[in-house]
Amino acid sequence: MTIIQDAIQELETIPYRGVKPKDFEEFWLESLRRDAQTKARLELEAIAYPLSKVEVFSATVLSGDRTKLKGYYMRPRAIDPQEALPGLVRFHGYSGNRGQLSELLLWALQGYAVLALDVRGQCGETPDTRVYPSGAFSGWLTLGLESPHTHYLRQVYLDGVRAVEALANQPEVDEKRIGCMGKSQGGGLAVIAGGVINALGQEVNLKGGVKAVSAAMPFLADFRSSYQLQKGGPLEELAWYFQLHDPEHQREEGIFTTLDYFDGVHFAPWLGKKTACLVSMGLKDTVCPPATVYWLYKGICGEKKLLIYPEYGHESPDGFVDRQIEFFAKELL
Catalytic positions, written as ranges: 184, 285, 314
209: left (phi over 0), alpha (psi -120 to 50) or beta: beta
How many Cβ atoms from other residues are within 10 Å of residue 28's Cβ?
25
Best CA proximity match to 222, nearest among 193, 256, 185: 256
Grouping H, G, I as helix, E, B as strand and the rest as coil, residue 108 is: helix
Order of strands across the sheet that contains 113-117: 42-46, 54-62, 68-76, 113-117, 85-91, 173-183, 212-216, 276-282, 304-309
- Residue 214 to residue 183: CA distance in whole angstroms: 8
Show the DSSP H helices in the chain as ranges: 3-11, 24-35, 101-108, 152-168, 185-200, 223-229, 236-245, 252-260, 264-267, 290-299, 319-332
The closest alpha carbon to 275, from 204, 158, 181, belongs to 181
